[in-house]
Amino acid sequence: MSVFLEFKKAKRTGLLAAYIAGGMLAAAVPVVNMAVRSEMYLTRQGNPVSILFHANWQMMAMLNILLVTSGTCLLYHIEYADNAIQKVKSLPIWESSVFFGKALLTIMMSAAALAIEAGAIAFCSCYWMEIGKDFWMELCKSFGYAFGLLLPCMILSLLIAQICRNMWVSLGIGVVCTFTATMLPTDRFMPSLFPFAMPFQIFADADRSQIIAFITAAAAELAILVLAELLLLRIRRWFE
Amino acid sequence: MSFISLVSVEFMKIKRSRILFILLAATIILWLPSILNVHLNFGMQAEGISPENNFFIQGFMAMSWFMFPASMVVGTVLLNQTERMNKGIIKMLALPIHSMKLCLAKFMVLLALAAAQILMMAGMYYGSAAVCSAAQDYNFILPPVFVAKEMGLLFLSAIPMTAFFYMLSVSIQTPIFSVGIGLASIVPSVLIINTKLWFAYPMSYPFFVITSEYGKLAANLDTAQITLIPWIPVAIAVTLITLFISCIRFGQAERRE
């Protein structure tokens, strides 16, 4: 129910168009890269998904994170801008259900953006390279992994957007977090657990144990963030 | 009302915005890894760059690539939303002042924010260089004239980019697009500085200027150098055109209502 309501609210903000445009922009990265300098990648050994991910994912992940950050900021900005949040609070619904409605909307739209990117990777592989028999499985796994690791980033940035009434503060914090993530080394496990740094991880060529560790960590972070959200709403009610 | 008092009014409006904390947080996060990994600067002799120069320029490069431009996008959101939130823009437009002046006064504030962040960056640089000098028993502190020159270059090269971001925020009413386009345009600047058409892309100017300074400091490194022609005329044209569009579009949507 609330996800439809959230979708209706976001309809005229251009959010859906922004997610599609963001997905297309990130999808353009591998296509342009292959169109301009395909000779750099065609000689490499390995499967197409792995080559394309290693060549482009850094930039694509960054675009995804920025898209999620600005999208979540806007989702709460529309509540705070004209004090609509007060009306929301007076409705006979849990305040947390608004958060989860927005979270679900973000998750669905990010999945759409990632699907566009997956389409671009598939196109590049078919057009410039030869695809093996397990190509589609590898592609699905890679994007499923990317989606799973993007989840904590989505929920955390939504949480930041909920805490800060002013859009520039939440956007500023989101941007600083993204910047921090770019400074962290991706090959070390502990720093990579930072929710904004996790989406930079690549499925292809990673150890099985490492993949399981990251998925477990993402699930744990999600649980902590959801708990933090519930707790935060309680605390905020006491002070209002 | 004189232009200077208009600008000072704009400063008063953002007094409680906490923007300076965000700018400061970014600069602290920038220099912390540099302090922790200071020993790596000694391994850069192969490129022909001294450890102290490397320490300084790597920090400035990290900043000018993403955080500095992104801070300017956040700054435009601040300037825009403080007016639009409670329809303050309507009151502003009702004043007997030319809207072009108001628009430029806001742009001055944005430039001041850029200058503030560069100053914080330099301040944090001196702090962290002092810490590293004490820890490593090696002088990492560079002369202030050199640092000031780099700061000035970074600031000047950021003006066209800032004007472009300002134009986006003034002309596009839906914040997600102005912010989204702004942030997304920063990401490809890494690729664009390697092309011949870098001068047509204002978002890549600050990073290009700092990377070419890196090339000058590192004797064995051959990074692309700035060619003043056609860069300067293009940069001036970009600044003037974007500011002109901003001035025309300023308050246009509100006047229609």
Q: What is the average per-residue pLDDT within A105-132? A: 92
Instruction: Tell me the mean pLDDT in the region A18-28.
Output: 94
CA distance A113 to chain B (A): 14
Residues A3-14: what's their mean pLDDT? Answer: 85
pLDDT digits (tens, 9 = 90+) for B21-39: 999 999 999 888 888 888 8
How far is the CA of A208 from the CAs of A212, A215, B31, in angstroms?
Answer: 6, 11, 35
Block residue for tokens 């990377």:
B211
For B19, the closest of A71, A168, A179 (CB atoms) is A168
Inter-chain residue contact B183 with A70, CB threshold 8 Å: yes
Residues of B in contact with A15 (CB under 8 A): 176
B81 vs chain A: nearest CA distance in angstroms? Answer: 8
Judging contacts by C-beta atoms under 8 Å, the chain A residues touching residue B62 are 183
Kindly report the average pLDDT of chain A as a whole number. 90
DSSP letter for B223, please: P
CA distance A215 to A140: 15
Residue for token pair 């993530």: A181
What residues of chain B, 89 to 148, have a C-beta less than 8 Å from chain A? Answer: none
Q: How many CB pairs under 8 A join A and B?
A: 90
A94-122 average pLDDT score: 93
Check if B17 contacts A (Cβ < 8 Å): yes
Cα–Cα distance measured from residue A63 to residue B232, given in angstroms and rounded to the nearest whole number:
30
Rounded Cα distance, B59 and B148, in Å: 15
Q: Give the model's pLDDT for residue B247.
A: 93
User: Radius of gyration over alpha carbons of chain B, in Å?
Assistant: 20
Nearest CA in chain B to A75: B176
Residue in A62, A74, A169 closest to B175 by CB: A74
Q: Decide if B19 and A66 are in contact by the 8 Å CB cutoff.
A: no
pLDDT tens per residue across span A123-181? 999 988 888 788 899 999 999 999 999 999 999 999 999 998 889 999 999 999 999 99
Under DSSP, the state recorded for B193 is T
Domain residue ranges of chain A, discontinuous segments joined by +: 2-239
What is d(CA B246, CA B244) in angstroms, rounded to the nearest whole number? 5
Question: Quick check: B29 and A172 CB within 8 A?
Answer: no
What's the complex ipTM? 0.91
pLDDT confidence bin for A1, thresholds 50/70/90: low
Q: Got the DSSP string for A205-234?
A: T--HHHHHHHHHHHHHHHHHHHHHHHHHHH
What pLDDT score does B184 carry? 92
Q: Is B179 on the interface with A (CB under 8 A)?
A: yes
CA–CA separation, B53 and B216 (whole Å) = 11
Q: What are the residue ranges in chain B where pLDDT is below 70?
A: 257
What is the pTM for the complete model shown?
0.93
